[in-house]
Structure 1
Amino acid sequence: MNNFFRVAFFTVVASFVVSCSKGDGNSVVPKRDYAEQYATDLANIEEFLQTHYMEVTNNAGNTEDQDVSFYEIPEGGTQTSVWNQTIYPLQAHYVAQDDITYKIYYLQLRQGSGANTNSPCNLDRVLTSYRGSYIYTKKETVNEVEVETLTLKQFEESITPESYLTLSTLIKGWSEILPKFKTGSYSANPDGTLSYSNFGAGVMFIPSGLGYFNNSTGSIPGYSPLIFSFKLYEIQRVDNDNDGILSYLEDHNSAIVNADGSVTTINGVPDGYLRILEEDVDNPDDTDGDGTPDFLDIDDDGDFFTTASEIKNPLTNDPFPFADIPLCSDGKKRHLSNLCHH
């Protein structure tokens, strides 16, 4: 990879913010072993799922539609746990990072009524309401005996969002789970507001290694497993390298092709768009094999002409595939004018 592309790529990667919300007083505690912390987080998440039940509000067309609340099952209670309930089957998504295969549990309350093209990829911007909470161990004394129970504490909520969130700047759990959902529909109200319906709605349970890990962010303690409930209202496509091709179209395993939804960067596979793997692993999203993924590569096919200049034939103004321009009879690349030079 030439120096320009290498600098451009790492500049973009360095700018990615691993945060969903930032607050004053952020602090960092000493790092623990990733594998050991993941084992603790997973055990706590699974215990929470097995000891709590949930209630979902079904009120189509209203703000509270698909709101979800979690409650601890009291001793002797007959409520069905989140783990055992079957109305919204608990699902798992796996992410390879830090030499660990993380498991993200999630619930699909509703996938969303939109077409496949209405699902975000992991680089897009989303308009979403959400509620964020973290799981922690509460200690209390009962009959002179210290008892520990897992409980939930809310740290943030956005009910009527007015701005889009960029998935590539959020904690990893978001960019892994949101592509599994679709948008719905909306209608305008007399006061100028919009009402959303049939939108995708879900809950994700994120180990700290895919969240803030040892960073204490705002009111969230370090090493906290996170729970986000969310509703996907709208998406905005992005063009990271400004080459005239939206980044989701430069995901060659995207929903348009075979329902991947994740743009891969360096020698990666779909579940790790910021992950560097072995040198001999081909990146399906790197057309010319120069080590720079297409969504960051201004020359996707490595012919020294920018992708933006190859999107349309200057003579006819007709679009043609930038990576499939037919060669001239002597085997050389055609000129941008689509004419061969002799």
Structure 2
Amino acid sequence: MKFNKVFFLAIVFIVMVWSCKKDDDGIVYEPPKALSEIVNLDNDSIVKYMETHFYNYEEFANPPAGFDYRIVLGKIEGDNADKTPLSEMMQSETVTVRSREIGLDNDKEVEHTYYYLVAREGAGESPTVADATYIRYEGLLLNGTIFDASTVNPIWLEYTNRIRGFSVGTQHFKAGDNIIVNNDGTYEIENYGVGLIIFPSALGYYSGTAGSIPSYSPLIFKIDLMTVDEADHDNDGVPSYREDLNGNGYLADDNTDLKSEEKIQTTLVPNFLDNDDDNDGRLTRDEISDADGNIVFPYPDSNNDGTPDYLDPNY
């Protein structure tokens, strides 16, 4: 399984697919477990991991000659019994996960905590949750199994190629600087950000499986963030991060013309993939541009009702 080939809609599908098992009567389909059943189990597993593992912080603090600025994880035992655990170094944030996002037919919301470590800050800009990132990464389970990696050559990852925990986590790092583009299209980048993300299964694949990742698996990602490219997935002139209207870092639940799409029973398209966000027949780009085609910001609000024209079907 290559992480960069896991598309956004495929992720939504995966978490909605029910797991199954056989019994004497044939196949019994089991719906995903409730978020409330898993959230504390995941967090307990993550906290236990952080309390019993460390990273090579001493090398980052005093880099030896030829140090490659790669995170190395180890267990606190034996010769490493005196190491400072990750639990004393990592920071945390919470995000709200709605049951519908992981394939359950209810509107329950549960807060989930993810953890991140900035081993080297980086000298460039931080990405938003929606931006494309040029990145090296290694994905691990809590038992140390590597399920995917691109550790030699960086690759571009779009928002639509990433799971939610990866997107919210990478926004805490900074890209590099002094970017040199080689003739073969590769990059040489200095002072890039290096870090670690650990997040619960609801920010990953939850009840779904992907390659060697079992159901309900918290995930670890080592990150080398090389550079960032602001994304506009529908090319409507509004950067994708600005289409996160409710500010929850999850672009799929922002859909201004949801009711009109439901009424005509068409495909539901979130704003960041919709070039006519209010479905009024006028392209978003036209509603945020002046007569010369230049985008105007703040975006025009012709009737001064507090809603920009491109989100206002009544304008």
Partner of 1:119: 126
**Equivalent in 173, 176, 180 of residue 168 of structure 2:** 176
Could you tell me how far apart the structure 2 residues matched to 1:161 and 1:61 are? Answer: 22
Could you tell me how far apart the structure 1 residues matched to 2:238 and 2:52 are? Answer: 47
TM-score (normalizing by structure 1): 0.64
Where does structure 2 lack aligned partners over 5 or more consecutive residues? Answer: 1-6, 21-29, 100-108, 262-268, 304-308, 310-315
Partner of 1:278: none
Partner of 2:251: 273
Which one has the bigger helix percentage? 2
Partner of 1:83: 87
**Equivalent in 203, 207, 214 of residue 210 of structure 1:** 203
Q: CA offset at residue 237 of structure 1?
A: 2.4
Asked if the contact 2:276/2:284 (under 8 Å) is kept, the reply is yes
- Tell me the SS of whatever aligns to 2:171: helix
- Tell me the SS of whatever aligns to 1:221: coil
Residues paired across the two proteins, number: 263
| 1:160 lines up with 2:143 in the alignment | no
| 1:71 lines up with 2:74 in the alignment | yes
Q: CA offset at residue 245 of structure 1?
A: 3.3
Write the mapping of 1:281-300 to structure 2, written as runs, cut at 5 A.
295-299=272-276
Greater Rg, structure 1 or structure 2?
Answer: 1
One-letter identity of the residue aligned with 1:83? S
Write the mapping of 1:33-52 to structure 2, written as runs, cut at 5 A.
33-52=34-53
Partner of 2:286: 309
Where does structure 1 lack aligned partners over 5 or more consecutive residues? Answer: 1-13, 137-151, 252-262, 276-282, 328-332, 334-342
Asked if the contact 2:133/2:157 (under 8 Å) is kept, the reply is yes
Alignment RMSD: 3.8
One-letter identity of the residue aligned with 2:93? H
The sequence identity of aligned pairs, in percent, is 26
One-letter identity of the residue aligned with 1:308? R
- Tell me the SS of whatever aligns to 1:159: strand
Asked if the contact 2:131/2:159 (under 8 Å) is kept, the reply is yes
- Tell me the SS of whatever aligns to 2:142: strand
Could you tell me how far apart the structure 1 residues matched to 2:276 and 2:120 are? Answer: 39
Partner of 1:149: none
- Seen in structure 2, the aligned counterparts of structure 1 residues 209 and 154 have a Cα distance that, compared at 3 Å, is same
Asked if the contact 1:204/1:228 (under 8 Å) is kept, the reply is yes
Could you tell me how far apart the structure 1 residues matched to 2:187 and 2:294 are? Answer: 37
- Seen in structure 2, the aligned counterparts of structure 1 residues 100 and 322 have a Cα distance that, compared at 3 Å, is closer
Could you tell me how far apart the structure 1 residues matched to 2:181 and 2:237 are? Answer: 34
Q: CA offset at residue 72 of structure 1?
A: 1.3
Could you tell me how far apart the structure 1 residues matched to 2:181 and 2:167 are? Answer: 31
- Seen in structure 2, the aligned counterparts of structure 1 residues 189 and 172 have a Cα distance that, compared at 3 Å, is closer
| 1:324 lines up with 2:304 in the alignment | no
One-letter identity of the residue aligned with 1:226? L
| 1:104 lines up with 2:114 in the alignment | yes
Q: CA offset at residue 325 of structure 1?
A: 6.4
Asked if the contact 2:38/2:216 (under 8 Å) is kept, the reply is yes
